[in-house]
């Protein structure tokens, strides 16, 4: 695996690649990332992974500072699985002239997490746009765990980089139901137990929530009794009607964002 931290070197290495799969990450690689990477390795000639903790997309500086960074472990996992290139740029490499304040993203970016994390999705799209312009991948891989991010980025890529195919990958869960996420590294044992209970509550009550035989307020009350200090939202949405073109098939998901201590977790079930 070639490890590259400079844009010029990156261009030199990947210049001739015609069928490159790209998996952008912020590191703290887990089985969720590995499933995206495996798919890319199966579908593309070569696979490039980036690890870049994208400061502009964090709304709270503490969240950025405490984001898990375990580079040595990440490198060994990526080598083992057969990644061809690892791109590890610095902030200045990616933002030589600062962030793009004019980036246009779909208005769905103002809903769900967007209500609580202003400009978060603009910053995610900005960095993905920069990576695509550097890497020119044929396919780019995102997890359905971050469904809102997936839909917004997909919409942007269709409109601005139509030669890149967005590949959506299923959420990978632990046996206890918790969706894999780098932020799980920050959870205590007890917090993991709570996250698992929340998953089970939402899964069991999903159909009743859709039928409105129970209400979101009741579920919120139940979740608060488990020791959650803040729930940003619980909403039920049809994922095929989030961003046009809509699909006829109705697929409802329960979207949630909540805090365990100072760690913010999201899921869609």
The one among 54, 109, 148, 184 contacting ligand PAF by CB under 6 A: 54
Residue 214 CB, shortest distance to ligand PAF, in Å, is: 32
Tokens representing residue 159 in the block: 């409109």
For ligand PAF, give the closer residue by CB, 67 or 199.
67
Residue 228 CB, shortest distance to ligand PAF, in Å, is: 23
Site for ligand PAF in 146-185 (CB under 6 A): 146, 149
Tokens representing residue 235 in the block: 């909403």
The one among 4, 49, 124, 256 contacting ligand PAF by CB under 6 A: 124
Q: Is 127 in the site for ligand PAF (CB under 6 A)?
A: yes
The answer for residues whose C-beta is within 8 angstroms of residue 31's C-beta and 6 or more apart is: 172, 180
The answer for residues whose C-beta is within 8 angstroms of residue 214's C-beta and 6 or more apart is: 205, 208
Q: How far apart are CA 188 and CA 38, in angstroms?
A: 29
Options 3-11, 22-30, 221-229, 257-265: segment touching ligand PAF (CB under 6 A): 22-30
> Catalytic residue at 33?
yes
Binding mask 133-152 for ligand PAF (x = CB under 6 A): -------------x--x---
For ligand PAF, give the closer residue by CB, 123 or 201.
123
Residue 84 CB, shortest distance to ligand PAF, in Å, is: 18
Q: What is the 3-state secondary structure (H, E, C) of 217-268?
A: HHHHHHHHHCCCCEEEEEEEEEHHHCCCCCCCCCCEEEEEEEEECCEEEEEE
Q: Is 74 in the site for ligand PAF (CB under 6 A)?
A: no
Which residues does residue 259 pair with via DSSP β-bridges, in sequence order?
Answer: 230, 264
> What order of strands is seen across the sheet that includes strand 46-51?
2-4, 85-87, 46-51, 20-25, 139-143, 165-169
Q: Is 26 in the site for ligand PAF (CB under 6 A)?
A: yes
> What residues are annotated to the active site?
33
Q: Which residues bind ligand PAF (CB under 6 A)?
A: 24-26, 54, 57, 124, 127-128, 146, 149
């Amino acid at each position: 695996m070639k490890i590259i931290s400079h844009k010029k070197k990156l261009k030199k290495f990947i210049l001739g690649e015609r069928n490159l799969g790209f998996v952008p990450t912020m590191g703290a690689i887990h089985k969720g990332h590995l499933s995206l990477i495996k798919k890319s390795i199966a579908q593309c000639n070569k696979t490039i992974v980036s690890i870049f903790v994208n400061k502009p997309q964090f709304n709270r500086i503490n969240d950025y500072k405490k984001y898990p960074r375990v580079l040595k472990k990440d490198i060994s996992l990526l080598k083992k699985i057969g990644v061809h290139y690892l791109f590890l740029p610095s902030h200045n490499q990616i933002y030589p002239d600062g962030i793009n304040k004019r980036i246009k993203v779909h208005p769905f970016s103002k809903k769900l997490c967007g209500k609580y994390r202003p400009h978060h999705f603009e910053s995610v799209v900005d960095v993905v746009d920069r990576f695509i312009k550097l890497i020119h991948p044929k396919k780019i891989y995102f997890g359905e765990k971050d469904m809102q991010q997936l839909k917004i980025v997909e919409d942007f890529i269709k409109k601005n980089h139509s030669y890149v195919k967005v590949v959506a990958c299923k959420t990978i869960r632990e046996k206890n139901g918790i969706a894999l996420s780098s932020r799980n590294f920050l959870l205590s044992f007890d917090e993991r137990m709570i996250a698992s209970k929340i998953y089970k509550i939402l899964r069991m009550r999903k159909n009743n929530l859709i039928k409105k035989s129970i209400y979101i307020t009741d579920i919120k009350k139940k979740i608060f009794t488990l020791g959650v200090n803040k729930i940003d939202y619980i909403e039920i949405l049809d994922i095929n009607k989030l961003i046009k073109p809509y699909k006829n098939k109705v697929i409802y998901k329960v979207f949630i964002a909540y805090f365990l201590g100072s760690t913010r977790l999201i899921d869609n079930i």
